[in-house]
A = this chain, B = another copy of it.
């Protein structure tokens, strides 16, 4: 049992936390691209040199997957948050701001920007957060707004 569950009612706009870091190896970057995004500029420096990327970069979808890896690891260090999380409806305003290169070390921040009770499903609320992923030079490489479903406090809906 988790003693200190962070329910929807416990979240406030501006609440934030950090996650990561994770370092992307060249081997992992090329393997992910070969499987899911085999565009030449994700596969070799030689091909990337012929594009505006210049040198090899990771698939943007690898960056989103690494965001999730860091985010879930942080949730699992905080069982009170994990116990209240019901997954995500989607993501708004995903932006790849700069290429992520093999060897880069990524970290992220998340901050609650909006919360809304669900009229249809009183057992959950909707929480929007602004996520920013940074590289080792503290440059933002990706931003997005995940839309999460979050458990409400039992009894809060009158049950």
Residues of A in contact with B (beta carbons under 8 Å apart): 32, 35-39, 41, 51-53, 59-61, 64-66, 68-69, 72, 76, 86-96
> Main SS of chain A's interface residues?
mixed
Shortest distance in angstroms between A115's beta carbon and chain B's nearest beta carbon? 19
Query: How many chain copies does the complex carry?
Result: 2
| 10 residue pairs bridging A and B, Cβ less than 8 Å apart | A36-B69, A37-B65, A37-B72, A51-B86, A61-B61, A61-B64, A88-B96, A89-B96, A92-B92, A94-B94
Which residues on B sit within 8 Å (CB–CB) of A69? 35-37
Q: Check A90 against B86 for contact (C-beta < 8 Å).
A: no
**Distance (whole angstroms) from the CB of A59 to the closest CB of chain B:** 7
